[in-house]
Structure 1
Amino acid sequence: MKIGILGFGSVGQKLAKLFADAGHEVSIGLRNNADAQNNSAYRFGSFAEVAANVDALALAIPYKASLDALNNLASALEDKIIIDNTNPLNDDWSPLLLGQENSAGETIQAALPKSHVVKAFNTIFADVMQKEAHSRNGQNITAFIAGNNDEAKNTVMELAQAVGFSPLDTGDISSSRYLEAMAHLNIRIAVPLGGGTNAAFLYHQA
């Protein structure tokens, strides 16, 4: 599968390596091509160039920036999968609350009605987005997945499993409200309370 990633920060770099190691062709969308830093492992291009030439597009830039970028890419992303890794946060990582009747995932889906938005990986810190950190006491970290289109959701679940996570279907895109709240809790424990970012959720079915 051809997978594009918008952004090449810590999350973008980790996702790119996971996807490439699983055999996928990875392209990185950048605002400034100088950010490629002579990295030959992936293809680099503008947001528009990458969006036009992939089967799925993962968001590894902040939520507000994602909305701005996607508004200009809607036609190129028709019928494509959007892997929404975003959380509605302020610049200081504090929650940007959207209310109990909305979420970043739903807002992105509404902005791209002809695309298939799948919430995924938003509860997982970059520090544990690597194969050697995926297992906790023999159980893989859970990747919670939500989306309206079952085929797109199944594709992302298969991708999550291929890169070492344990995928869990949480229903349609409205479940983003709960997944984003989980991410806010994770951040609260990790940063203000000092728990650190080498931690993740495990959903254990007895």
Structure 2
Amino acid sequence: MKIAFLGGGNFGSNLATLLVAAGHDVVVGVRHPERARPQATYAVVSLKEAAAHGEVVVIAILYQACAEVLPRLAPQLAGKIVVDATNALQDDWSPLPLGSTGSAAQTLTGLLPGARLVKAFNTVFADIMTRDRLNRGGHPVTAFVAGDDAEANAIVAEVAASAGFAPVVTGPLYNARYLEAMAHLNIQLAVVQGGGTNAGFVYHQVSE
């Protein structure tokens, strides 16, 4: 599958590398591709080229940059599956207030009204996006998925599974606010409490 990333930081680079290893056709879009260091596993292109390339496009830029970057890419992203991996954070890593019923995903739907938006990967630290670290004592790290398009949810879940995650589809995009709260908790434990980022959520459900 053709997968593109908007943003080439640690998160985008690490997840892109996992997906290349899984056999996907991956590009990473950045503001200034001419300044990027050459990558052995995937092509580094402009943000516009990345948006045009991907059947699935992962938003891997900071939430605060989305209002500037995404509207210009909306025509290329219309009708495509767009994965919102953002969390609304302030500079000190504390939550950026979005109101009692707001979420980063809700904001992005307003910026990309024609996209098939799915929330995923926002609860996972970049540091554990390697095959060995995704295995937590025999249990793969969970990739929670939320979206209003059932087909898009299923495709994102398949992409996550190919990278080594255990996907769990949580329901509609409304549930993104819960996933974002989980990410804030993860950050509190890892950064504020000093637990470190070699940690991940494992949702272990036993069917009766």
Report the TM-score when normalising by structure 2: 0.95
The answer as to 2:175 corresponding to 1:137 is no
Aligned-residue offset at 1:52: 1.4
Helix, strand or coil: the match of 2:185?
helix
Answer with 71-80 or 34-43: which moved more: 34-43
Equivalent residue letter for 2:191 = V
**Which residue of structure 2 lines up, in the alignment, with residue 85 of structure 1?**
85
**Which residue of structure 2 lines up, in the alignment, with residue 123 of structure 1?**
123
Q: Provide the alpha-carbon RMSD of the alignment.
A: 1.1
Cα deviations by residue, 1:145-187 (Å, 9 ceiling, x for unpaired): 0011111110000011111111011111111100000000000
CA contact 1:57–1:82 (8 Å) conserved in 2: yes
Which portions of structure 1, spanning 4 or more consecutive aligned residues, are displaced by more than 3 angstroms?
none
Cα deviations by residue, 1:51-103 (Å, 9 ceiling, x for unpaired): 11221111111011123211111111111011111000012211102122110
Aligned-residue offset at 1:49: 1.5
CA contact 2:59–2:86 (8 Å) conserved in 1: yes
Helix, strand or coil: the match of 1:87?
coil
CA contact 1:100–1:177 (8 Å) conserved in 2: no
Report the TM-score when normalising by structure 1: 0.96
Equivalent residue letter for 1:196 = G
Quote the Cα distance in structure 1 between the aligned partners of 2:187 and 2:35: 27
Helix, strand or coil: the match of 2:176?
helix
The answer as to 2:14 corresponding to 1:14 is yes
Quote the Cα distance in structure 2 between the aligned partners of 1:66 and 1:110: 11
Distance 1:57 1:111, change over 3 A: same
Equivalent residue letter for 2:147 = G
Helix, strand or coil: the match of 1:143?
strand
Where do 1:1-206 residues align within 5 Å?
A: 1-206=1-206
Q: Which runs of 5+ in 1 are unaligned?
A: none
Q: How many residue pairs are counted as aligned between the two chains?
A: 206
